[in-house]
A and B are shown apart, each in its own frame.
Chain A
Amino acid sequence: MKTMNPILRYKVVWIPLLIALMSPATALAQSLQKGGQLPSIVLPVPSNPEERAYLGVSGTGTFKIPQIKADVVLVEIFSMYCPYCQKDAPGINELYDVIQKDPDLRDRIKIIGIGAGNSAFEVETFKKTYQVAFPLFPDKDYVIHQAFGEARTPYFIGVKIQRDKSHQVFLSQQGGFPGAQPFLQQILKESGLR
């Protein structure tokens, strides 16, 4: 009697496995892909008026990253407990300063940080310790960190925002912060801003 290969014979079993592999739960374990979209996450509108003005958002509710008034948004997933996030903090601050001092870039590139697993208190502690001027948001229960694929920190995501508020991820990088100027050049090149 002809014996069918067990792998083929139990396609009833393998098909659900393939579906499982393609399920959102599995997708969570992958960092974002260049050319792709951000996961559907919302952030609270900052209570600080300067931060609201920087982001170009208003009100007291929530907003989505593509609603930020900019052509490019750099998102850093960090943790106050992460040694490399601590080491890179002065360099990211320098990147922010360089952008803010450039009249051609200051309204076009914005930076935000999301503290993975960090409470509001912990994010504030990081902000004070490193005198971070751009907005930081807590992600105490790792909801955003998981939606972004649970990448190791620091994790940098560059998002290009079109006038119609559609968007595309152009940078997805775990660690490897090369310093303010090289990173700015990388962002300008990969986003197509310059």
Chain B
Amino acid sequence: MVKEKVRCCILVIGIFLLLVSSATGQTISEAYKGNIYQPGKLKPTDSVLKVRAGDQAPDFTLPSVTGEKVSLNQYRDKKNVVLSFVPAAWTPVCSDQWPGYNIIKAIFDQHEAVLLGITVDNIPTLFAWTNQMGKLWFPVLSDFWPHGGVAAQYGVLRSDGVTERALFVVDKKGIIRSIDIHDINQRPALEDLIQELEKVSK
């Protein structure tokens, strides 16, 4: 009887805590029409970085949603590159990150930079998801197979197979100039990225 009461109390406290924690600190656009999966609060970071600022950025070639293959090296001596790894399609913070970058092409242009969006999702999933964001001006790349191969090269593949929420700024010489392995639960502030781009384009 006492044990039963204790179990019930634990259940009630659990429900209460769940309700209290339901204030998520994130926005979800109507654009996704209730199709965003809520993973809950995750461990902020969960991988060991394999590159450092000042290193040559490991080259890669990945398929994009629009069909062509994109290599990091194709921008060498032409453009600065921002690599934006986001953990997974159809999740809250990720769905609210790239659409913001989509309205600031002029700022990227001003700093002679391109953006490459990367996830470990497959192309059909990325196609359906990014269609909700409107027409994106930057390539969206699938690091699906071998699963998370590029993410693993950079050291941003988490133990559950998704990537960190990570931003790498790579200059025209292919050198990594800044790295932001962000708390996976939070969107990086735009001004921080712009500041890094300003440093690279000076």
Q: Which residues of A contact B (CB under 8 A)?
A: 6, 10, 12-14, 16-17, 20-21, 23, 25-26, 28-29, 79-87, 116-117, 119, 121-122, 125-126, 129, 141-142, 145-146, 150, 152-154, 174-176
Contacts and interface: CB of A to CB of B under 8 A. Distances in A.
Contacts of A153: 27-30
B107 to A, nearest CB: 8
B22 interface: yes
Point out which of B9, B16, B27 has the most chain A C-beta atoms below 10 A from its C-beta: B27
A168 to B, nearest CB: 25
Contact of A81 (B19, B30, B96): B96
A82 B99 contact: yes
A17 B14 CA distance: 10
Give the 9 A-B CB pairs with smallest separation, nearest first. Answer: A175-B30, A81-B100, A82-B29, A121-B191, A83-B31, A81-B96, A20-B16, A25-B20, A13-B8
Contacts of A20: 12, 15-16, 19
A81 B132 CA distance: 12
Nearest to A80: B100
Nearest to B96: A81
Interface residues of B, number: 37
A29 B99 contact: no
Given A83-B99, A175-B30, A25 B22 contact: yes
A80 B104 CA distance: 10
Contacts of A119: 189-191
Contacts of B134: 83, 86-87
Contact of B19 (A21, A79, A86, A125): A21
Contacts of B91: none
Interface string B152-190: 000000000000000000000000000000000001011
B42 interface: no
Contacts of A175: 30
B43 interface: no
A103 to B, nearest CB: 34
Given A117-B96, A121-B190, 8 more contacts: A20-B12, A25-B20, A81-B187, A84-B30, A117-B26, A122-B190, A142-B26, A150-B23
Contacts of A154: 30
B201 interface: no
Point out which of A81, A121, A122, A176 has the most chain B C-beta atoms below 10 A from its C-beta: A81
A72 B32 CA distance: 30
B125 interface: no
Interface in B2-39: 4-5, 8-9, 11-12, 15-16, 19-20, 22-31, 34
Contacts of A23: 16, 19-20
Contacts of A145: 27
Contacts of B9: 13
B30 A28 contact: no
B19 A26 contact: yes
A126 B103 CA distance: 8
B97 A25 contact: no
A120 B1 CA distance: 56
B83 interface: no
Nearest to B1: A9
A83 B133 contact: yes
A179 B32 CA distance: 20
